[in-house]
Structure 1
């Protein structure tokens, strides 16, 4: 996602993690111009990472968690499990292997009964 490539946009996302903020509140936390912050907000809105709502004269921004689920799933491919996560992965593999063996054994036993 190119939208999170810029550090200002990442910082905006962190700010919005705790709840909705107006464009003015967001811009007030940066040393860059308000129009520059507005451009960053537009990129985040167009990417679907944030949504906005006009409330009176204020435009409020908030995170759109649905997009983060997809992003998180994509990023997971780059994270190697550590410690107990790795052991759980190994356990899961063993459980599936055992289930396959039992099914195969059950199918073979059933085939023997049908031919006898």
Structure 2
């Protein structure tokens, strides 16, 4: 592990010394990152910007999920998040389907 880190540092330094420095054009943004194998492991609430709220799926996306599960003649009964309610058919049998705004089907009930 330590030898790998030393090797990566040596490669990075040799590249920096060997390659001539090119003149950057105005307005260009150059960013060079060299990972040397230290750190990491501190992930969770309060560590970085990875925590963000994603909006849930739309009513149309929920309908598409239900259609891909084999339902047809799908009709929206309630499109208010966080739980959508639909009516749909499989064959000649009608069902009501509840799906949450994360895309998980919560209930399928035969009518």
Give the strand-richer structure, 1 or 2: 2
Instruction: Report the TM-score, using the length of structure 2 for normalisation.
Output: 0.27
| Greater C-alpha Rg | 2
Instruction: Report the TM-score, using the length of structure 1 for normalisation.
Output: 0.26
Give the helix-richer structure, 1 or 2: 1
